[in-house]
Structure 1
Amino acid sequence: MTPAELLTDAFDRILKTATAAVDGLSEEQLAARPAADANSVAWLVWHLARVQDDHVADAAGTEQVWTAQDFVSRLDLPFDSSATGFGMSSEDVGHVRASAQLLADYVKAVHDATVAYVAKLTPDDLDRIVDERWDPPVSLGVRLVSVVNDDMQHAGQASYVRGLVTSG
């Protein structure tokens, strides 16, 4: 298995978990929060897609799917177009409302852009430094593993919240 195949498999799992988390839920269920300051399924899935989109597009030197495919207007959230969810308040989390289909479409579009990019990567590409702001500087391989880790945690959280929302 090549590094590109390994990364594709990881991103495929994120896609499957995230889309299963939103599948068949109403907008109200997607926005439901199990506690006052908890994250909703909608916010978790939007956020994981935004982080993947932002980080992979930056590494690839491409425009984010968020703007390139106009998801920024289609989701019509009350945030700056560069928002990814980092540092958002509980009130901000509550503003993320969208249909299951629109969230799934965004996750799928980000996934498609991501796997198209990683399919071209060679093992040597993974050593390229993509962020010098850290000590040690962050390589592409480390950045992609970080995205996989963060996204899979949020996809799992979305699945858990889905269970809470649909069980009662």
Structure 2
Amino acid sequence: MTSTDVLTDAFDRISGLVGDVLQDLSGDDLVARVGPDANSIGWLVWHLTRVQDDHIAAAAGLEQVWIADGWQQRFGLPYPPKAIGYGQSSAEVGTFQGVSASLLQQYHRAVHEQTLGFLKGLSEGDLDRVVDPSYRPPVTLAVRLVSIVSDDLQHVGQAAFVRGLLRRR
């Protein structure tokens, strides 16, 4: 098994978990906040997918799926085109409205497909390429990919937790 096989498996697992979290959720479930400043399931899935889209596109030298395939218009969110959710205020998170679980799932699948296509074309040597020299030590592609996996797993876990809380209400 190669490093890219392991990364592909990790991203496949994230995609499966996203599908599980979104299954049979209503619009109200997607935007429910279990506390005044808590993130909703919909926002969490949007955010983790936006981070993956943004970071993979940058590493691959591609345009973000969000922009290239018109997802920004389909979602109709009041966020700047390149917003990924990082640093958004509670009020901004609260403006995540009017998005269906189906639309979120479709966008996630599109990003997942771009991610898998990128991974498929990588060699082991590509993973040592520096993608962000501003850090010490500089961030390699391998480190960036593991960071995306880590971030996505944390957020899909948070979404699953919120789903569990909502089901117990």
Shorter chain as denominator, the TM-score bin is over 0.9
* Aligned partner letter, 1:44: L
CA distance in 1, matches of 2:168, 2:22: 15
> Shift in Å at residue 133 of structure 1?
1.1
CA deviation string 1:26-77 (max 9, x = no partner) = 1111000110000000010000000000000000000110011111000010
CA contact (8 A) 1:4 1:120 kept: no
2:77 match: secondary structure? coil
* Rounded Cα–Cα distance in structure 1 between residues aligned with 2:66 and 2:16: 20
Counterpart Cα distance in 1 of 2:11 and 2:42 = 19
Please identify runs of 4+ aligned residues in structure 1 that moved more than 6 A: none
Write the distance in 2 (CA, Å) between the matches of 1:15 and 1:123: 23
1:44 is aligned to 2:21: no
Query: d(CA) in 2 for partners of 1:156 and 1:87?
Result: 19
Q: How many residue pairs align between the two structures? A: 168
Report the counterpart of residue 131 of structure 1 in structure 2: 132
Counterpart AA for 2:28: E
Q: Which residue of 1 aligns with 2:31?
A: 31
Which digits, 9 at most, give the CA deviation of each residue in 1:71-121, with x for residues without a partner? Answer: 100001001001000000001111112100000011111001001100111
Following superposition, the deviation at residue 20 of structure 1 comes to 1.1
Residue 152 of structure 1: aligned partner: 153
Consecutive unaligned residues of structure 2, counting only runs of 5 or more, are none
Q: 1:108-161 CA distances to partner (integer Å, 9 max, x unpaired)?
A: 110010011001111100000000111111000000000000000001111110
Between the aligned partners of 2:119 and 2:65, the Cα distance in structure 1 is: 15
For 1:13, the equivalent position in structure 2 comes to 13
The equivalent of 1:119 in structure 2 is 120
2:108 matched residue in structure 1: 107
1:78 maps to amino acid? P
How large is the Cα RMSD of the aligned pairs? 0.7
TM-score, length-scaled by structure 1: 0.98
% identity of equivalent residues? 52
For structure 1, the 5+ residue unaligned runs are none
Secondary structure in structure 1 of the residue aligned to 2:96: coil
C-alpha distance in structure 2 between counterparts of 1:69 and 1:167, whole Å: 37
Instruction: State the match for 1:71 in structure 2.
Output: 71
Distance (Å, rounded) in 2 between the aligned partners of 1:96 and 1:105: 17
Q: 1:59 maps to what in 2?
A: 59
Q: Tell me which amino acid in the other structure corresponds to 2:110.
A: A
Distance 1:123 1:29 in 2: 42
